[in-house]
Amino acid sequence: VESEKIFEIGKDFSHSKASSVEEADLVLINSCAVTERAVKKLCGLIKNLKKKNPICKIAVTGCAVDYDNKKIKLAGADYVVSNFSKLDIFDSINADEDSVIPIDQKEFFQEAKAADKEKHTRAFLKIQDGCDAFCSYCIIPFLRGEPVSMEQDKCINEMKELIKDGYKEIVPVGIHVGKFGQDTESKSSLYTLMKAASDIEGEFRIRMTSIETNELTGELIDLVKSTDKICSHFHIPLQSGSTDILKKMNRRYTADEYILNAKKIKQKIPNATIGADVIVGFPGETEEHFNETVSTIKDSDIDFLHVFQYSDRPGTKASNMPDKISGVVKAERARILRALGDELKIRALERQVGLKHRVLAEKDNKGFTDNYFTVKLNLSAKRNEFVNVKIRGVNEDGSLSGDII
């Protein structure tokens, strides 16, 4: 979302998109620091770009700048611009200087929305930034600061604008959306926002992003059940299925609580889907802990699994923990969970056969169901229109086939 916003601002500075790296005068990189690999890849990318086009200027912004701007300069970046002044990146470039802001001097919520109707039927709206949960493995709270939200009324007005512009799916995004509203004067919440969004007139749907299980309340689940304006697809990070490891991770729920909430969703909304992130190889994760994770995943009836190997981030609590897990063991555990993830996805796909879905058509006669499956349609459908579809079968590429009814 923020990258698109930067691109839009660039137009005001008379920049336009270059057709290739070789032809670019300036390359902007919006970086990530969530894993060690992300920062390594960033440095490799900068070196590669400089080889391809030695005279172009490279400006880097995003979390990696606040994490280690020296490393990025060393890799060859001409400008580094703190995450907190990323929307002023062109001012830094014009002034020919870096802009590195210490975390305690960060300013405000930077509004951003990504909406390019030519490319997408879906619009992203940034409603929240920052996190103070300090999960022991996570560097984000150090880089993005305290939770900050946009006022609920403003979010609703922005959504209405997007709907008026013809968007049929809106994705409110943030670093920790479950904390939405708590810092605002109106003391709104994710529930009050979703309730107000579902009351907006028009033909559209809202797709929620990641929510922590302890912030996914019964009233929010009931709201999703009661309306077709909020997609029945929940992304609920699990991270570990072992209560011992969850405690060491400073997560605020037990494995049993996670299972209970997942079951509640499936009981109330039988065709809802659940996606989850899991980290394997957290320091001290034994074979027994890992097996508990496998059981928790199975018991929670998760449909989409995203598996990550633990990545050590110096500066976090976990980085100083003993009993680090070897790369070989982490890779093997990730392999096992990815295989389980494939099985779960196939099961979820097969459950859709024979069901009716409302699909938002995109290009090439494909579209998405509200519970987040890709459907290949039998007939051509107008892009950005909802069509009612009966699911005929499962395709080898992990999509569904559907007949328009």
State yes or no: residue 206 binds ligand SF4 (CB under 6 A): no
Using CB under 6 A as the binding rule, whether residue 325 contacts ligand SF4 is answered as no
Please tell me whether residue 276 binds ligand SF4 under the rule CB under 6 A.
Answer: no
Count of residues interacting with ligand SF4 (CB under 6 A): 9
Binding of ligand SF4 by 278 (CB under 6 A): no
Shortest Å distance, C-beta 132 to ligand SF4: 8
390-394 contact pairs (CB < 8 A, 24+): 390/354, 390/355, 390/356, 390/357, 391/352, 391/353, 391/354, 391/355, 391/356, 391/357, 392/353, 393/353, 394/346, 394/349, 394/350, 394/352, 394/353
Amino acid at 145: G
* Among 112, 140, 150, 280, contact with ligand SF4 (rule: CB under 6 A): 140
By CB under 6 A, residue 141 contacts ligand SF4: yes
Our finding on whether 349 is near ligand SF4 (CB under 6 A) is no
Binding piece for ligand SF4, criterion CB under 6 A, among 13-21, 106-114, 133-141, 187-195: 133-141
By CB under 6 A, tell whether 176 contacts ligand SF4. Answer: yes
Pick from 196, 145, 149: which is nearest to 170 by CA? 196
Element (H, E) at 128: strand 128-129
CB of 14 to ligand SF4, least distance (A): 36
Cβ-based nearer residue to ligand SF4, 93 or 216:
216
Distance CA 209, CA 159 (A): 16
Minimal CA–CA distance to 39: which of 58, 7, 62?
A: 62
Token pair listed for 366: 């494909």
Cβ at position 176, least distance to ligand SF4 in Å: 5
77, 125, 138, 265: which one contacts ligand SF4 (CB under 6 A)?
138
In the complex, minimum distance from the CB of residue 10 to ligand SF4, in angstroms, rounded to a whole number? 28
Eight-state DSSP code of residue 347: H
Judged by CB under 6 A, the stretch of 135-143, 280-288, 373-381, 394-402 that binds ligand SF4 is 135-143
Residue type, 317: K
Cα separations in angstroms, 127 against 133, 157, 228, 291, 335: 18, 12, 21, 37, 35
**Interface segment toward ligand SF4; rule CB under 6 A; list 84-92, 111-119, 134-142, 337-345:** 134-142
* Binding flag, residue 175, ligand SF4 (CB under 6 A): yes
Three-class DSSP category at 318? helix
By the rule CB under 6 A, 131 interacts with ligand SF4: yes
The distance of closest approach from Cβ of residue 95 to ligand SF4 in the complex, given in angstroms and rounded to an integer, is 32
Q: Does 269 bind ligand SF4 (CB under 6 A)?
A: no
Closer Cβ to ligand SF4, 255 or 375, answer by number: 255
Torsions phi, psi for 139 (to 5 deg): -90, -15
Q: Is 238 in the site for ligand SF4 (CB under 6 A)?
A: no
Residue with tokens 């999960």: 135
Does position 133 bind ligand SF4 by CB under 6 A? yes
Shortest Å, Cβ 138 to ligand SF4: 3
Handedness of CA 105, 108, 109, 111 (dihedral sign): negative
Per CB under 6 A, does 135 bind ligand SF4? yes
Pick 268 or 317: Cβ nearer ligand SF4: 317
Q: Which stretch binds ligand SF4 (CB under 6 A): 126-134, 191-199, 337-345, 389-397?
A: 126-134
What Rg value do the Cα atoms of the chain yield, rounded?
Answer: 22
- Which residue, among 76, 81, 70, 80, has the nearest Cα to 52 in the 3D structure? 76
CB of 231 to ligand SF4, least distance (A): 21
Please say whether the beta carbons of 386 and 358 come within 8 A.
Answer: yes
Shortest spacing between CB 147 and ligand SF4, in angstroms: 9
Terminal alpha carbon distance of the chain: 35
Q: Residue 115 carries which side chain, given as an amino acid letter?
A: A
Min separation Cβ 401 and ligand SF4, Å:
36
Return residues touching ligand SF4 (CB under 6 A).
Answer: 131, 133-135, 138, 140-141, 175-176
